[in-house]
Amino acid sequence: MKQTLLRRQAAPAIELHTRHPALLSRQLREATTPFLRERRGVIGLSLLASGALSLICLFQIGILKHLPEPRLPRFDAEKVNRSAEAYRWLETPDAFLGLVSYVATMTLAAMGGPTRAEQRPWIPLALAGKVALDAALAGFQILTQARKMHTYCLWCLLPSAATCGSLPLVMPEARAALKRVRGK
């Protein structure tokens, strides 16, 4: 790998303007560091989750009249996604809020170059905190479907699984960032 892809520089905690956008572009597209591979995995899983949520959005706003779902016992996507529970926050169908959440996750995963754990450790720590909170909310959502609705939604379980799959991907970089913050 080219040394220029991993050039290290002292950097402030946050910048609104990228000093070297061409370098960052090349790093994000071409570098093959373990942390960057894991970040790409988080983005891929978030896009998978967004696809499932997009279908639910179409149903919850009335563009789709029916949600396709395999006929499995205890699965009823329409019952789950038309329930009052799915519309209780911010006067917004919950799938739209889920999309916003995944955009935030992808943005945190895409932010910064391959050495961000050293240069801007707050970014991987924020990503790990966000994904951990999302995993807890995914667990809560599954429990709500089981206990309140007594049925599940396959399209809702896909994003939950994607979130849980992202958790182990964000932890190595978060540990490195935590070491940097602690000065070890």
Over residues 39-72, the pLDDT tens digits come to 999 999 999 999 999 999 999 999 999 998 888 9
Per the prediction, the chain carries an average pLDDT of 90
Give bridge partners of residue 152 from the DSSP assignment.
Answer: 75
Q: At 1, is the pLDDT very low, low, confident or very high (cuts 50, 70, 90)? A: very low
What was the pLDDT predicted at 10?
47
Report whether 109 contacts 50 (CB < 8 A): no
Compute the average pLDDT of residues 88-115.
Answer: 95
Q: At 101, is the pLDDT very low, low, confident or very high (cuts 50, 70, 90)? A: very high
What was the pLDDT predicted at 14?
54
Compute the average pLDDT of residues 9-29.
Answer: 70
CA-based nearest residue to 138, from 111, 117, 158 = 158
Q: At 25, is the pLDDT very low, low, confident or very high (cuts 50, 70, 90)? A: confident
Q: At 2, is the pLDDT very low, low, confident or very high (cuts 50, 70, 90)? A: very low
Rg (CA), the chain: 19
Tell me which architecture the domain covering 33-182 has in CATH.
Up-down Bundle (1.20)
> Which residue ranges make up each domain of the chain?
33-182
What 8-state DSSP symbol labels residue 152?
B
Cβ contacts of 51-55, under 8 Å, gap ≥ 24: 52/155, 52/156, 52/158, 52/159, 53/95, 53/98, 53/99, 53/102, 53/155, 53/159, 54/95, 54/99, 55/155
Is a pLDDT exceeding 70 seen at residue 38? yes
Q: At 21, is the pLDDT very low, low, confident or very high (cuts 50, 70, 90)? A: confident
The position carrying tokens 């916003």 is 100
Least confident of 7-21, 29-43, 95-109, 141-155: 7-21
